[in-house]
Amino acid sequence: MTRKKGISMAGLPWIAAMAFFMQALDATILNTALPAIAQSLDRSPLAMQSAIISYTLTVAMLIPVSGWLADRFGTRQIFMTAVSLFTLGSLACALSGSLTALVIFRIIQGIGGAMMMPVARLALLRAYPRSELLPVLNFVTMPGLVGPILGPLLGGVLVTWASWHWIFLINIPIGIAGLFYARKYMPNFTTPRRSFDMSGFLLFGLGLVLFSSGMELFGEKIVATWIALTIIALSILLLLSYIRHARRHPNPLIALPIFKTRTFSVGIAGNLATRLGSGCVPFLMPLMLQVGFGYPALIAGCMMAPTAIGSILAKSMVTQVLRRLGYRRTLVGITVFIGLMIAQFSLQSPAYPIWLMLLPLFILGMAMSTQFTSMNTITLADLTDENASSGNSMLAVTQQLSISLGVAISAAVLRFYEGFDNANTVEQFHYTFITMGAITILSAAVFMLLRPKDGRNLIKERH
């Protein structure tokens, strides 16, 4: 495999940032628009969940195959195919006249969405030396932090002042620009051909789909708890079967020896453990503001904007923090701090002035931005070109799963406190924030497994 230098690298981080933003925005923008879409399509709002689930399950199923496709056909070719599918799927969703059509076109969107970000990040891994990777990934992850926070807000604005069709139409100009820049700037990295592990894909992909479905059903109380837990148990059985399969297969979909790379294993475990807590904030906070405090939906959505602003501002400081403290101290410290920030939301009440609610959300945004950038870069720090594809796919899978886990766990905790007869609605949210904060603080122990020198190759001073 040869690296392409010069002008072909200049626009690559922008392309990856665009892909991350489109994928992150689309995962959440539909939530606030579901009632309007249901009314337009003459369906019950409760039936509209299939439009969200069809997308997230397609993404979960196909992320693992994105690495093999990029290795086989080239990063540029697969990325442009992914963006084309995502953009055409968006147009078709906007033109949908029925729920069935919308679900079908959301699946097409999901096929594109599953490949966009993993393939773009894989191209970055192969284009840049590790010493230059931190500022590049720092830049690229920013839209991914902003997207989920802007999604509900933008969805509410478009539905209120335009129509639900614009939720999908806004993807089209971004997608066209992405295709133009990808053709011009994205290198077409390939690796020697290897056979496709179909059995592994079915075991791993189906396991992920069932796990995501089970967590969704468990968190949303759509079916009886025992049914959701049975689906989760079956998914774990399939994933364990994949591990057994991968040990015997000469070219498994996700190679298991990659987990012998300690920084990668700690990074993956840390991503899952810490996002159980931090992933609850975009779900719980708008809910508490509306159900507990009586805020309108649009105002509750706007209240999350400081988190996005804090995320953006923190990006300029992450590299300096890591150079001063190192990855181990930074990740342990910032994770404990995030846990404390989540727990302090239990102090808020409807009588609080607005600025006292906005300031903690802004500070939390800065902290989460620092944590996510540090986690993702240490996970990829010691991967080689040979295992970059598997490692990158595994990181993308972990991030996708953590979205489901964060919401499902926090919903289950909230449901538990709803059973307390002596607690009112606001107190139930308060108890939930304290619990999720405690879980986040405990998850900091994962990063104690890092060594003080880990990640030094990423934060070398450049003279």
Res 462: pLDDT:
46
Q: How far apart are CA 394 and CA 233, in angstroms?
A: 21
258-463 CATH fold = Growth Hormone; Chain: A; (1.20.1250)
Q: Which residue matches tokens 């499902």?
A: 408
pLDDT digit string (tens) for 301-326?
677 778 878 888 887 788 888 888 88
pLDDT digit string (tens) for 79-129?
999 999 999 999 999 998 888 899 899 999 999 988 888 898 888 888 888
pTM for the predicted model, two decimal places: 0.81
Q: Residue 42 region, left (φ>0) first, then alpha (ψ -120 to 50), else beta?
A: left
Q: Which of 268, 19, 258 is nearest to 119 (CA)?
A: 19
| Residue 341 pLDDT exceeds 90 | yes
267-276, 376-385, 433-442, range with the lowest pLDDT: 376-385
Share of the chain above pLDDT 90, in %: 24
Share of the chain above pLDDT 70, in %: 92
Q: Which of 435, 429, 439 is nearest to 275 (CA)?
A: 439
Q: CATH for 1-191?
A: 1.20.1250.20
Q: Which helix (H) or strand (E) holds 265?
A: helix 262-278
* Contact by Cβ (8 Å): 431, 412: no
pLDDT digit string (tens) for 24-57?
777 677 766 777 788 888 877 666 767 877 887 8
| Residue 2 pLDDT exceeds 50 | no
Quick one: pLDDT band at residue 3, thresholds 50, 70, 90? very low
| Residue 369 pLDDT exceeds 80 | yes
Q: What is the mean pLDDT of residues 184-212?
A: 85
3-state secondary structure of 348: coil
Quick one: pLDDT band at residue 463, thresholds 50, 70, 90? very low
